[in-house]
Copies of this chain bind each other. A is one copy, B any other.
Amino acid sequence: MLSQVDNDILTRVGADLPMGRLLRQYWIPFLLASDLPEPNSDPLRVRLLGEDLIAFRDTTGRIGLLANHCPHRGASLFFGRNEEAGLRCVYHGWKFDVDGTCLDMPNEPPESDFKDKVRVLAYPCVERAGVIWTYMGSVKPLPALPDLEWALVPDDQRYLSLRVQECNWVQSLEGAIDASHSNFLHSALKKKDAPPALFGEMTQGAVYRDRDPHPHFETLTHAHGVLVAARRDAEPDTYYWRINQFLMPFYTVFPPTGGDPPCSGHMWVPIDDNNTLVWHFTYHPRRPLSEPELHAMRYGRNGQDAFHAALDRFRAPLARAYGGLHPDRARSNDYLLDRQLQRTRQFFGVVGGWAQDAAVQESMGAIYARWQEHLGSSDVGIIAVRRYLIDAAREFVEGHAAPPGAADPHGYCARPAALLLGRDASWADAAKDALKGHPGESLVVV
């Protein structure tokens, strides 16, 4: 449990609050590059850390992310005309480039220099690996993009999706650190109904995992985040270790199962205090994703639901930021909970891993009152990550420490791992190399 004060520090992302200030020191992935498919494509509404913004790709292909309100009289730049190297407000024709510079002010007399005095708030954007990232902080020069392994591999080795979750970002993130819930939330009542290995065949490690619902947890903090290791009995002289990674400020990866499997993880981006943009990535560090793997992500496998939420992106009304990213299995319809399925075959009765996660996390309310919790031994990872985040925010705003990892992109090249170790081995030492990213080399996953 957390105090009410710490709960606020942990969860709230306003620009003047500790966590909001800390988060603004990191690059933030906020759209697929294909959401702005070509020069001059339609502007989109975006909301990040509680700020309403307009994203566009100008006629030269550059990405802009501007304040929603035109600095003149506040009309929304969402309506803007995407013209020659800038976005032009439809109200009086003021035109801004991706840097926020006012290029034209046609309702002012030609001799006026007013346009040189007005800028619109603009956040720098870059594209990498099919994703658009922005930086909402004030440090100059800009830090480098984090070298996340999925972002370093060729395009055909990667699959990305996103959806909106209607609860706080930390609540969402915690689900990815909590490695014990899959024995329950995502499980079947009978072995024959169990979710298949997502990719390839079930391994011996997965058998160990499914056999033991109460692993022992250990954590290790480091310069970029927290390692969360779950230990299960394997053979009489071995333990089976599964190691998740949390990387500042909102990245998580978890070990896959299967033979030479792709690796998956999430980016839990705060839209505002009450909503999260949930990124899901799957990649193989060594080879292109196969057709069966892509099929499992899009449509599922062996009668299971698609691994990635399949949304009809941006086809819904545009009036709302990320309007098309709200799944149809939602709080308003109880995620299509099927009580008969719950009684007879599945532990939960909601179809699809992502929907199962969304259901329990949203059911806590927008921001859970963590002072009402009762954390057990399976929550060791959650406790460590919360503490890491709160300490980082506090020390940053007090001027005692830089944002962990923000200045060191290479530390982000990291992986999950799953290992079989002798009972007296140190997992941290033994897994050290396996936990580093090695684009071009397969994961170490038993």
A138 at interface, CB cutoff 8 A: no
Tell me the minimal C-beta distance from A40 to chain B in angstroms: 8
CB-defined contacts of A110 to chain B, threshold 8 Å? 214
A442 at interface, CB cutoff 8 A: no
Segment touching B, from A176-184, A280-288, A305-313, A407-415: A176-184
Contact A181 B91 (CB under 8 A): yes
Contact A107 B180 (CB under 8 A): yes
CB-defined contacts of A213 to chain B, threshold 8 Å? 93, 106-107
A426 at interface, CB cutoff 8 A: no
The complex places the Cα of A75 from the Cα of B359 at a distance, in Å, of 8
Known contacts A69-B364, A317-B332, A364-B69; is A107 also within 8 Å of B374 by CB? no
Instruction: Choose among A78, A93, A372 the residue with the greatest number of B CB atoms under 10 Å from its CB.
Output: A93
Known contacts A79-B359, A107-B184, A107-B213; is A373 also within 8 Å of B72 by CB? yes
Interface string of A362-398 (1 = CB under 8 A from B): 0111001110111111110000000000000000000
Known contacts A71-B373, A372-B71; is A360 also within 8 Å of B109 by CB? no
A331 at interface, CB cutoff 8 A: yes
Residues of A103-126 whose CB lies within 8 A of B: 105-110, 112, 114, 117-118
Tell me the minimal C-beta distance from A283 to chain B in angstroms: 28
The complex places the Cα of A180 from the Cα of B112 at a distance, in Å, of 16
Contact A377 B108 (CB under 8 A): yes
CB-defined contacts of A178 to chain B, threshold 8 Å? 73
A319 at interface, CB cutoff 8 A: yes
Contact B342 A317 (CB under 8 A): no
Contact B109 A377 (CB under 8 A): yes
Give how many copies assemble into the complex.
3
Contact B348 A319 (CB under 8 A): no
CB-defined contacts of A72 to chain B, threshold 8 Å? 373-376
A235 at interface, CB cutoff 8 A: no
The complex places the Cα of A172 from the Cα of B180 at a distance, in Å, of 48
Known contacts A79-B363, A92-B184, A360-B91; is A114 also within 8 Å of B376 by CB? yes
Known contacts A92-B378, A114-B376, A331-B319; is A109 also within 8 Å of B214 by CB? yes
Contact B214 A106 (CB under 8 A): yes
Contact A374 B216 (CB under 8 A): no
A42 at interface, CB cutoff 8 A: yes
The complex places the Cα of A363 from the Cα of B76 at a distance, in Å, of 5
**B90, B108, B339, B378: the one within 8 Å of A185 (CB):** B90
The complex places the Cα of A76 from the Cα of B348 at a distance, in Å, of 12
Known contacts A360-B75, A375-B73; is A91 also within 8 Å of B216 by CB? no
CB-defined contacts of A363 to chain B, threshold 8 Å? 74-76, 78-79
The complex places the Cα of A112 from the Cα of B374 at a distance, in Å, of 14
Contact B334 A74 (CB under 8 A): no
CB-defined contacts of A347 to chain B, threshold 8 Å? 81, 90, 93
The complex places the Cα of A181 from the Cα of B106 at a distance, in Å, of 10
Contact A92 B181 (CB under 8 A): yes
Contact A332 B348 (CB under 8 A): no
Tell me the minimal C-beta distance from A209 to chain B in angstroms: 13
Contact B373 A74 (CB under 8 A): yes
A34 at interface, CB cutoff 8 A: no
Q: Which residue of B lies closest to A323 (CB)?
A: B334
Instruction: Choose among A69, A109, A369, A374 the residue with the greatest number of B CB atoms under 10 Å from its CB.
Output: A374
The complex places the Cα of A92 from the Cα of B185 at a distance, in Å, of 7
CB-defined contacts of A71 to chain B, threshold 8 Å? 372-374
- A sample of 5 more A-B contacts (CB under 8 A), given A90-B185, A90-B349, is A73-B375, A73-B379, A79-B360, A81-B347, A108-B377
- 20 A-B pairs with C-beta separation under 8 A: A69-B372, A71-B372, A72-B375, A73-B364, A73-B379, A74-B373, A75-B364, A76-B363, A79-B363, A90-B184, A90-B347, A91-B185, A92-B185, A107-B183, A107-B213, A107-B376, A108-B214, A109-B216, A114-B376, A318-B337
In order of increasing CB-CB distance, the 10 nearest A-B pairs are A76-B363, A74-B364, A75-B360, A93-B184, A107-B180, A90-B348, A74-B368, A107-B378, A91-B360, A118-B374
